[in-house]
């Protein structure tokens, strides 16, 4: 099969013919229909993700059609499915308590095992997969496996956002835009922060009530003023120290901060304003991915057209464009995300 392989950090992915993936007993092999290009892929591409090594086939936001199924899998050839990026074992204490996204035996295609920057991908623990609704295009569905699912769990599983609450979103990349769209669907009043004017204007067009340029003065103070006391919930979607502190400092007393941006590499350890946490009795939540059992509520929201996730997609690209899309994350990116839908180009 054709795949884009990481051979050297910060260099173009190598387009190669590699061996087709094997199917595990409890897994499936998918013909990849679409795969998103995510900032988490960039962390691996530049060498900051501790588990991504040269030789890796990246790509963790994917959906596909089953072309082979193991004897223990419930799926059949021809089924179209979408995958969470964390594949949980289903039997450990974490999984049994409903927290599959912190499974200690999790499998991670795209980070540790071969991912979906390829024509085919092997998916173990296939009980994590969800059926792709007929009304949902593979290109839009590809973003569900990481950005949209992570945002959904951050809002509903961690912060428990309520209608009428103020929600601040720091960073309007894929996760930030997902948080905006889903937050509005839940009835929240959303403020976004970014340093790219085009992205701020895009977010306003999608329903944000206010958009703040992160280069323009004290971001937290502006949010406190706009909201009349601070946001109830603030989501940090970049994984850097400055925006994490802004997210914490913009909250009203008893507010909830959710760390969605991945602190890895040089941002793994941060100096945090714990005085704000202490004085305002704030709650700090970490989150990564989404337990698979939350898929039905998310897919129901989308298929009932309570929320339209299509504005998240900026462009469809070929597999040969993956390197350019990864390189774009070296600086501020334009609005929306890229999805690979052509694996032969």
Q: What is the pLDDT of residue 265?
A: 85
Torsion of CA 316, 319, 324, 330, to 10 degrees: 90
pLDDT, residue 145, reads: 75
What are the two backbone dihedrals, phi and then psi, of residue 297, each rounded to the nearest 5 degrees? Answer: -65, -40
> Which tens digits make up the pLDDT trace of 45-59?
999 999 999 999 999
Domain boundaries, the chain: 2-146+290-342, 150-286
Supply the pLDDT for residue 144.
Answer: 82
pLDDT of amino acid 264: 87
Q: Enumerate residue ranges in the chain where pLDDT < 70.
A: none
Question: In the chain, how long is the greatest CA-to-CA distance?
Answer: 59
Which pLDDT score, from 0 to 100, does residue 312 have?
93
Tens of pLDDT, residue by residue over 140-189, are: 999 787 999 999 999 999 999 999 999 999 999 999 999 999 999 999 99
Altogether, the residues listed in the chain come to a count of 345
Q: Tell me whether residue 134 is exposed, middle or buried, using C-beta atoms within 10 angstroms of its C-beta: 0 to 12, 13 to 18, 19 or more.
A: exposed
**pTM score, whole prediction:** 0.94
Among the four given CATH numbers 3.40.718.10, 1.20.1630.10, 2.60.40.10, 3.40.50.720, the one describing domain 150-286: 3.40.50.720
Residue 281: C-alpha distances to residues 160, 232, 284 (Å): 17, 12, 10
C-beta of residue 188 within 8 angstroms of C-beta of residue 167: yes
Q: What is the dihedral of CA 326, 107, 95, 36, to 10 degrees?
A: 30
d(CA 249, CA 230): 9
Interval 1-29: pLDDT, tens: 999 999 999 999 999 999 999 999 999 99
Contact 312, 169 (CB under 8 A): no
Asked if residues 180 and 206 have their Cβ atoms less than 8 Å apart, the reply is yes
R_g over Cα of the chain: 19
Q: Do domains 2-146+290-342 and 150-286 have the same CATH topology?
A: no
Backbone angles phi, psi at 115, to 5 degrees: -100, -155
DSSP codes of every residue in 128-171: G-EE--TTS-HHHHHGGGTHHHHHHIIIIIIS---TT-EEEEE-
In CATH, the architecture of 2-146+290-342 is: Alpha-Beta Complex (3.90)
| pLDDT of amino acid 311 | 93
């Amino acid at each position: 099969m054709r795949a884009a392989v990481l051979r050297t950090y910060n260099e173009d992915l190598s387009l190669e013919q590699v061996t087709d993936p094997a199917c595990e007993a409890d897994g499936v092999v998918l013909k990849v229909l679409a795969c998103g290009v995510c900032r988490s892929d960039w962390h691996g591409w530049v060498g900051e993700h501790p588990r991504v090594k040269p030789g890796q086939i990246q790509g963790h936001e994917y959906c596909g059609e089953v072309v082979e199924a193991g004897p223990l899998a419930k799926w059949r050839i021809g089924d179209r499915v979408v995958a969470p990026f964390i594949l949980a074992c289903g039997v450990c204490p974490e999984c049994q308590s409903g927290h599959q996204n912190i499974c200690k035996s999790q499998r991670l295609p795209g980070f540790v095992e071969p991912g979906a920057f390829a024509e085919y991908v092997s998916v173990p623990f296939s009980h994590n997969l969800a059926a792709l609704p007929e009304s949902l295009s593979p290109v839009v569905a590809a973003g569900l496996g990481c950005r949209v699912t992570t945002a959904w769990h951050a809002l509903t599983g961690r912060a428990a956002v309520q209608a009428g609450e103020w929600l601040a979103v720091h960073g309007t990349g894929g996760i930030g835009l997902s948080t905006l769209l889903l937050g509005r669907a839940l009835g929240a009043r959303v403020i976004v922060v970014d340093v790219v004017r085009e992205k701020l204007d895009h977010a306003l067009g999608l329903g944000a009530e206010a958009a703040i340029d992160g280069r323009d003065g004290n971001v937290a103070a502006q949010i406190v003023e706009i909201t009349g006391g601070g946001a109830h919930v603030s989501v940090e979607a970049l994984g850097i120290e400055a925006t994490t502190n802004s997210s914490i400092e913009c909250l009203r007393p008893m507010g909830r901060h959710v760390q969605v941006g991945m602190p890895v590499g040089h941002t793994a350890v941060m100096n945090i304003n714990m005085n704000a946490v202490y004085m305002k009795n704030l709650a700090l939540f970490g989150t990564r991915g989404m337990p698979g059992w939350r898929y039905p509520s998310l897919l129901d929201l989308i298929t009932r057209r309570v929320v339209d996730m299509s504005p998240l997609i900026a462009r469809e690209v070929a597999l040969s464009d993956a390197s350019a899309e990864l390189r774009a994350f070296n600086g501020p990116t334009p609005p929306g995300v890229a999805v690979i839908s052509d694996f032969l180009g």
